[in-house]
Amino acid sequence: MVERPLGDEERRLAAALGRGPDGRSTDLASGLGAPRWIQRSLKFCANCGTRLVEGIPPTEHRERMACPACGYIAYVNPRLVVTTIPVTDAGEALLLRRGIEPSRGKWAQPGGFMEIDESVTEAAIRETLEETGILVQPGRIVGLYARLEAAVVVLVYEARIVGGEARRTPEALEIQAFGVADIPWAELAFSTSFWALRDWVLARAPETPVPDAFPGTEVW
């Protein structure tokens, strides 16, 4: 199958619609292809072992890493990170102080990479339980947040705490509940966490003052 490139007018119309709310969480421009740190890891063809080369394959309209021997194309797609904002009976958000890099020591909602053999809901429950000891029931989706720098899309659920007991883990130096007015905005680990928590606060208590932009420093 040959992939059809967009025409000039189609590109103009698509660009006019903007990046959407998920684009708020990245400063990296769209359309730049896979991050260089991912491209450097793509060296040999998974089909025949030949060294991959960078270029525009005959069936494509953008640069890819492809095999000159068998034509295999190493497509690179974003990974899905599934997270939750566990909410206490008092309406507080349960956050963890990260125990691992990147952004060790900063605050974030629990979550992690979805496994290939589970649903997004199962991933949200598992990751929250692994990182905090808390069992949650995911509810409404707070939002989706793109992070082009890290090649991930972050899905954020609001979740009801239904069991377990908060405990420190290798991923969590500390676990703390924050009221809507007490979110540690400048100490958050990621811009995706900032936008998710901002959206969550504005949905729960729209009168609460929140920053307009991520005030912290992001490491990835």
pLDDT at 12: 94
pLDDT at 1: 64
Fold entry, domain 34-76: Ubiquitin Ligase Nedd4; Chain: W; (2.20.70)
Nearest Cα to Cα of residue 132 among 103, 157, 164: 164
* Confidence bin at 217 (pLDDT 50/70/90): confident
For residue 5, give both structure tokens. Answer: 């490139």
95 contacts 108 by C-beta, under 8 angstroms: yes
For residue 55, give both structure tokens. Answer: 């270029």
Q: Could you tell me the CATH superfamily of domain 79-204? A: Nucleoside Triphosphate Pyrophosphohydrolase (3.90.79.10)
Question: What are the pLDDT digits (tens) for 110-122?
Answer: 999 999 999 999 9
Domain ranges of the chain: 34-76, 79-204
* Confidence bin at 218 (pLDDT 50/70/90): confident
For residue 158, give both structure tokens. Answer: 């609001």
Residue 150 has pLDDT above 80, yes or no: yes
**What is the average pLDDT across 85-103?**
97
Owner of token pair 């990260």? 98
